[in-house]
Amino acid sequence: MSDQNPCFIPFAKDVSGIDLPDRFTFPFYYTPHPLCLLASAQLQEVIVSMDWKHDFGVETPDSDTAIGKMFGVLVVQTNQGNLGFLAAFSGKVADENLHHPFVPPVFNMLDKDGFFKREEAVISELNNRIDHLLGAAEYINTTRRLAEAKRVSESELTQLRKEVKKRKLDRKLKRTEAAQTLSLPEIEVLEANLVKESLDDQFNYKRSAKKWRLEINELESKHALFVDSLNRLKEERKSRSGALQKELFDCYKFLNANGKEENVLDIFEVAHKRVPPTGAGECAAPKLLQYAYLNQLKPIAMAEFWWGASDKSEVRKQGQFYPACRGKCEPILNHMLQGLMVDPNPIFSKLAEEKEIEILFEDAHLLVINKPQNLLTIPGKEIEDSVLTRIGRKYPEASGPLVVHRLDMSTSGILLIAKTKEVHKALQQQFENRTVRKRYTALLDGELFKDNGTVDLPLRVDFHDRPRQLVCFEHGKPSTTYWELVGTEKHGTRVRFSPITGRTHQLRMHAAHHLGLSAPIVGDELYGKQGARLHLHADQITFVHPLSGHEMTIESQVPF
């Protein structure tokens, strides 16, 4: 380690023959520089040698205590021209965020004498008091009795109302019959009895209603005492938690290469007009850059890799490199990278601007096209070129919304295009009724041990790292895919997917997730490894022509 910079790690191997990059790494889409590969390999040896008192799940990925972590390396150069690297991990490990030789956090919220731990103890005590009240026998009993009283009273009073209504109809019938068979004096006697019966019914119903109202009011008063106490405690907890979070964010201040410092609240306010998510600033990348700037170390290149078991909801592979997360890190890193020459976003260099859209079928009502890889279906925030804009220019007279369904930018293959609103509505109805049959061919990075099967995993967006998806059995939308093995090839396993539902990244997640096929699609930079292209192609679609009523099957040649 350097005497001046205790977290500076010299390279164990000679790196004099490796050229430095011209620009710094674009952190959200990159191929690790050779120096980063060497630094990561060296760091992994350090990780293995350390006594962490933390179960990463490397050997036991299915352990209930296994928690994998994202690690990062930042290749840096000293003022004397010496090359080395810094290392960091996201969040904390073994309930600690200070582990030599890793860089320290931007702010040490775990300092036992700091304001965060003191206020955290107060909030923890509030949680205990809330839990104690919720678990109190008297509160539970009062809540149960109140619910039962409301249920029984409603049932009893409903039955009484039915009986009163029935007797009212009976009295009406008696009056009708009496008018035809009884004398006037007899009718007067009958009417007096019927009026008395009506008054008795009203009195009995009101008495029962009053009895239940008094009982329920008494129970509600007792219950309200508990609820008021709970609400006061919860309101205090909310107020303290909000104030603590704000005070905490005020302590997270980040430099950039120009020497300008901004706190995380201001960064997110400028970028997204919202409060930063919990944990913003605790990821590896901001820690690394902050330490480099504070210690006059020049950032050269950066990479992040996963170590240990994957979280059950997402796709993480041991030792594999991943981009920085966008939800927490993008606004911070956009600030921190100002003043550095950074690689351009490689996604722009992959755009299919020179590739023509192939028309597979066309008539006066619709088109079936073959979308090139790396062309958006509809325009994005930063990219205008898309199927929609191109088709719109080619068919300016078309009245329909044109695009009936979508494909990921990286996915190539068949798309349906409607020329009129009526055809668009009819085709969309077929998709909603799931009568459209789609087939995809993919090349998987892994081996399958069955010939076919069905993957059924609910998906939702990762709010902190869009557009990545997560498996979520609580809030995820149902998603089902039938698959069949085509064969094993030199570069992977060829399969055909027939999606039953059409969720975002459904096939990519169902292929990569360990509860799915556990074999990511070749070239999938989000859930697998980067490659020349995502090897996923929509090669067949079957639908009913809205005008002719004929079933049509259109196919497209797989380009890989």
Fill in the DSSP letter of residue 497: E
E-strand stretches of 419-535: 437-444, 452-456, 459-461, 469-471, 480-489, 492-499
Residue 436: half-sphere exposure toward Cβ, Cα within 13 Å: 22
Instruction: Tell the residue number behind the tokens 């009073």, with chain if given.
Output: 157
Q: Cβ–Cβ contacts within 10 Å for residue 255, how many?
A: 20
Q: Using alpha carbons only, how large is the chain's radius of gyration in Å?
A: 34
Q: Which of 267, 320, 257 is nearest to 292 (CA)?
A: 257
Q: Cβ–Cβ contacts within 10 Å for residue 546, how many?
A: 18
Dihedral sign, CA of 478, 483, 488, 490?
Answer: negative
Instruction: Tell the residue number behind the tokens 């349906």, with chain if given.
Output: 416
Q: CA 527 to CA 512: how far, in whole Å?
A: 6
Rounded to 5°, angle at Cα 142 from 138 and 147: 155
Contact 448, 422 (CB under 8 A): no
- DSSP for 452-479, please give it: EEEEE--EEE-TTSTT-EEE-TTTPBP-
Residues classed as catalytic: 408
Q: CA 136 to CA 439: how far, in whole Å?
A: 57
Contact 520, 508 (CB under 8 A): yes
Element (H, E) at 101: none
Q: Give how far Cα 466 sits from Cα of 312, 326, 363, 470, 480, Å.
A: 18, 7, 38, 10, 21
